[in-house]
Amino acid sequence: METVFTKIRAGAIPSAKVYEDEICFVILDINPVNKGHLLIITNEVHPTLADTPDEVLSHLLVIAKKADAKLREVLGCAATNVVINNGEASGQEIPHLHLHIIPRYTDDGKRLTFPKTHYDEGEIVALGKRLEFE
């Protein structure tokens, strides 16, 4: 499957690549939340978390940790958001797994928030039982 990310990896679409290895590559997002916003992208196309081998997911988090450290060192950001939009309904625009590492600053005026809902009486316990896994 070809995606915009496979085209970027192949060099058909220009990018500012900051890291690459046998499993993933990292580029600057062209539409950043804040400057320095990075995308960690799998080399092979895996549309969602469920489609991605465990060893690839583990590697992506190791790279996310390194990217976080580099952003803090170079940009002096106070924090980062690490985000995966996992499926179209979540806002995933490209069906090719990638992590967003977004540098954040105290009082940058940007918030990642969702409206909250609530559980009815007994609903949280019942749902918790249905969602148990090993």
User: What residues have CB less than 8 Å from 104, skipping those under 6 apart?
Assistant: 34, 77, 78, 79, 80, 81, 110
Cα distance between residue 18 and residue 87, in whole Å: 26
- Active-site residue, selected from the candidate residues 37, 96, 98, 100: 98
Burial of 33 (0-12, 13-18, 19+ CB in 10 A): middle
CA distances from 132 to 48, 54, 67, 124 (A): 21, 20, 33, 12
Known catalytic membership, residue 59: no
Q: Determine contact, residues 87/133, Cβ cutoff 8 Å.
A: no
Q: Tell me the catalytic residues.
A: 98
